[in-house]
Amino acid sequence: MINLILFGPPGSGKGTQAKTIVSKFGLTHISTGDLFRYEIGNDTPLGLKAKEYMDAGVLVPDEVTIGMLENKLNSTPNENGYIFDGFPRTIAQAEALDELLQSRGTKVTHLIALQVDEEELVVRLLKRGETSGRPDDRNEEVIRKRIVEYENKTSPVYEHYIPTNTAAKIDGVGSLEDVFNRIYDQLA
């Protein structure tokens, strides 16, 4: 079983790479950002709660996010495993994920961190904003806020996984195929 945390700042290519990895390894892709956007699209109470945080470029509270992730794991059992994209984003979320997986007799097997410098991220996200329909991709201030959130709250998650020998950093710049091959080398 592969339980891969695809890690990296907003715009580092996690969602794009996840699609290719899913098709090669038969994993289930869980993106908490996509789950929130689905809830927002359906005008659910959860979506309503998440929207104000997302529009401001800050993290949705842990208890909301962890509860949603647990529901998704329960409703999509997959013996091959999962790609976690955009989760965990805090140490509390990492601890919750470790417990959720442990209670299912498994664990995080890989964390792969895509590295892309900040100015490249801003360029990529503004470009994505032209077509993504995501309000948080259209405003440079919100984009920079998301990157600051990542640095302050999310980057420590990498250190959390160092003792388990699962964490690796790879260069996230290059063609889709080049980056995928770097990921593949880590999973093989």
Q: What is the set of active-site residues?
A: 14, 89, 128, 134, 146
> Which residue stretches of the chain are H helix?
14-25, 32-41, 45-56, 62-75, 91-102, 118-132, 140-149, 156-161, 176-187
Backbone angles phi, psi at 119, to 5 degrees: -65, -35
Residue 36 is a binding residue for ligand AMP (CB under 6 A): yes
Q: Which is nearer to ligand AMP, 54 or 179 (CB)?
A: 54
Q: Does 124 bind ligand AMP (CB under 6 A)?
A: no
Longest C-alpha distance within the chain, in Å? 43
The only residue of 146, 161, 179, 182 in contact with ligand AMP, by rule CB under 6 A: 146
**Residue pair 17/6 in contact by the 8 Å Cβ criterion:** yes
Residue of the chain from 1, 16, 49, 53 that contacts ligand AMP (CB under 6 A): 53
The answer to whether residue 60 forms part of the interface with ligand AMP (CB under 6 A) is yes
Q: Which residue is nearest to ligand AMP (CB)?
A: 33
Nearer residue to ligand AMP within complex by CB, 75 or 165: 75
Report if residue 59 touches ligand AMP, rule: CB under 6 A. Answer: yes
Distance CA 53, CA 42 (A): 17
| Paired tokens of 20 | 């290719």
Q: Which residues bind ligand AMP (CB under 6 A)?
A: 10, 32-33, 36, 53-54, 57, 59-60, 65, 86-87, 89, 93, 136, 146
